[in-house]
Chain A
Amino acid sequence: NAGVMQNPRHLVRRRGQEARLRCSPMKGHSHVYWYRQLPEEGLKFMVYLQKENIIDESGMPKERFSAEFPKEGPSILRIQQVVRGDSAAYFCASSPPGLGGGEQYFGPGTRLTVT
């Protein structure tokens, strides 16, 4: 049973470019979460999605960041017009159907570097 998959594992973008991070949840999981880990900081919640629905986006910056989890295909975290402060590790997690939260299983992360 494959775990949570994220790609790319490493992404380098210049300031002002767009970054697209992809996440495929574990088989059978219908909840997806995105977290950000800044250097020397802990994991911070960004957004929680179910298929075609954003359930909680209270941790998402108000501008330039968006997330989706379409009916088909992976979840996408999109960062427009990246700035140096966006450099971080972005982790996706998934959990099985049912009440949101609970045991969340994490992917290997995408390390974004903005030059």
Chain B
Amino acid sequence: EDQVTQSPEALRLQEGESSSLNCSYTVSGLRGLFWYRQDPGKGPEFLFTLYSAGEEKEKERLKATLTKKESFLHITAPKPEDSATYLCAVHLPGSGNTGKLIFGQGTTLQVKP
């Protein structure tokens, strides 16, 4: 069964303490891997798309990387406003034109001042 696993489930950091979130997937072939941020009571906010191993994308303090079996979301010198749940999702290959995304359970990040 195709799976997306995120770790850790929860992460507490001090402001300025850099770290990485992991997303591993067990799918054969990948049409895309996506990172989202979700704040409590809100919808997921799109962050990055990665399509091939070796690809990297950056936005402010966030940097996403992709290998053949996993992706990392690196957070450099985080601030309290980076506190949120970070979701990883994969777009699977398959017959037809499916738009189905498979989401991981998320990593809830708390950054303390």
Residues of A that sit less than 8 Å from B by CB: 4, 6, 31, 33, 35, 41-45, 48, 55-56, 58-59, 91, 95, 99-109
Counted as pairs of residues, one from A and one from B, with CB atoms less than 8 Å apart, the total is 72
A-B contact pairs, 26 of them (CB 8 A): A6-B43, A31-B99, A41-B105, A42-B103, A42-B104, A42-B105, A42-B106, A43-B89, A48-B99, A55-B96, A55-B98, A55-B99, A56-B99, A58-B98, A58-B100, A99-B97, A100-B98, A101-B31, A101-B32, A102-B99, A103-B34, A104-B34, A104-B46, A106-B44, A107-B43, A109-B43
Cβ-defined contact, B100 with A101, below 8 A: yes
Residues of B that sit less than 8 Å from A by CB: 31-32, 34, 36, 42-46, 49, 87, 89, 91, 96-106
Among A41, A101, A105, A108, which residue has the most Cβ atoms of chain B within 10 A?
Answer: A101
When chains A and B are docked, how far (Å) is the Cα of A68 from the Cα of B106? 29
When chains A and B are docked, how far (Å) is the Cα of A41 from the Cα of B104? 9
With A55-B96, A55-B99, A103-B34 given, name 17 new contacts (CB 8 A).
A4-B43, A33-B101, A42-B87, A42-B106, A43-B103, A55-B97, A56-B96, A56-B98, A56-B100, A58-B100, A91-B43, A102-B91, A102-B99, A103-B49, A106-B36, A106-B43, A106-B45
Cβ-defined contact, A102 with B97, below 8 A: no
Cβ-defined contact, B106 with A101, below 8 A: no
Cβ-defined contact, B46 with A105, below 8 A: yes
